[in-house]
Amino acid sequence: MKRKVQVGIIGAGPAGLLLAHLLKRAGIEALVLDHRTREDIESTIRAGVLEQWTVDLLIALGLGERLKREAHFHDGITLRFNRGSHHLNFPDLTNGKRVTVYAQHEVLKDLIAALPEDMIRFGVRDLSLDQLDGDHALISTADDEITCDFIAGCDGFHGPSRRAIPTSALKIYETVYPFGWLGILTEAPPSHHELIYARHARGFALLSTRSPTVQRLYVQCDPKDDLAHWSDDRIWSELHQRLETDEADWSLTEGKIFQKNIVPMRSFVCETMRWGRLFLAGDAAHIVPPTGAKGLNLAAADVVVLAQAFAAWYRDHTTDRLDHYAPTCLARIWKGERFSWYMTTLLHRNDTEEDFVQRIHQADLEYLVGSHAAQQALAENYVGLPMAV
């Protein structure tokens, strides 16, 4: 079957689905294609920390009703090191801004439910991209040939979009960290009302919440470790040690662990975000370690810029915004990469670093909790840098 659409969107993740909504609102015909089933997409549990502007955008688009009812609204984070606990109050530090914890798969459910069924195709097989430097681009699948004015590659780090760009044209920057996160989901009530980030001699730990009955926790580990080496007892023992504090009124609540996984960590930027009629967005173009909670928000920022560029082209047939898509996005992306790298190196134990560098991290934490200006800088980045939407 042959079909023509204005914009073909590869990937039904946060970037692709949000772009579809923005284009629909602008009167631009778009089609989202994904190799996964709807059930696979909506049931893959991933973290979701939303910046203030991202929440404001979802609400403005009419996509925030369930979020407003069910999300967790956090006024800050707690940093723990040397058995001490230090709360950073974001509204006080950022003129009222805060962050919202709302799992990514819940965001995806809302985005999918609000799109017309004929705008998304699930279970697409044998997808390839062609004619990217021609008058029109082509998406070929096992069942269709779709001609597009433009293609938005929103298909993640391992998707086909970035691979469709000649290797010689790719400008890539990357670092792989020598540690990963072992994450668990546990059936337990919250141990704390907000996220706790802990730096410990044994390694990093993070406590976060998913719902009143399900909690998400992480411990730093070797990214090549075997889950078989991590019994439930060992995991709880490490969490207790790394999150321990001298506060007498706090304790970690244990529960039944029903999911475990190990996540490697990398920072990655492909500065070639445009190739002909193909535009990369979200994880297809950049990856951040989860410590800074920037992944979904950077993806959303990309597609806001891209939607505005497409709208300008269809309205005025001007290419200025399309031509400036990559540099506009990269200015924000690199700031997000910097903050994520900072939070990651600050809070993790890295045995490849010299003792001198380890002591610098310790001094940095002590400076941070004692300096209002340093706290403001962290809070400003965490809640989200200004974004015109």
Which positions are annotated as active-site residues?
Answer: 74, 197, 290, 294, 382
Q: Please give the Cα distance from 369 to 380 (Å, whole number).
A: 15
Q: Are 49 and 100 in contact (CB under 8 A)?
A: yes
Q: Give counts: helices (H), strands (E), the chain.
A: 13, 19
Q: Please give the Cα distance from 13 to 154 (Å, whole number).
A: 7
Q: Please give the Cα distance from 243 to 268 (Å, whole number).
A: 29
Q: Please give the Cα distance from 43 to 38 (Å, whole number).
A: 9
Q: Please give the Cα distance from 18 to 104 (Å, whole number).
A: 12
The DSSP call for residue 280 is E
How far lies 216's CA from each of 7, 41, 337, in Å?
37, 19, 24
| Locus of tokens 């337990």 | 188
Query: Can you say whether the dihedral through the CA atoms of 305, 306, 309, 311 is positive or negative?
Result: negative
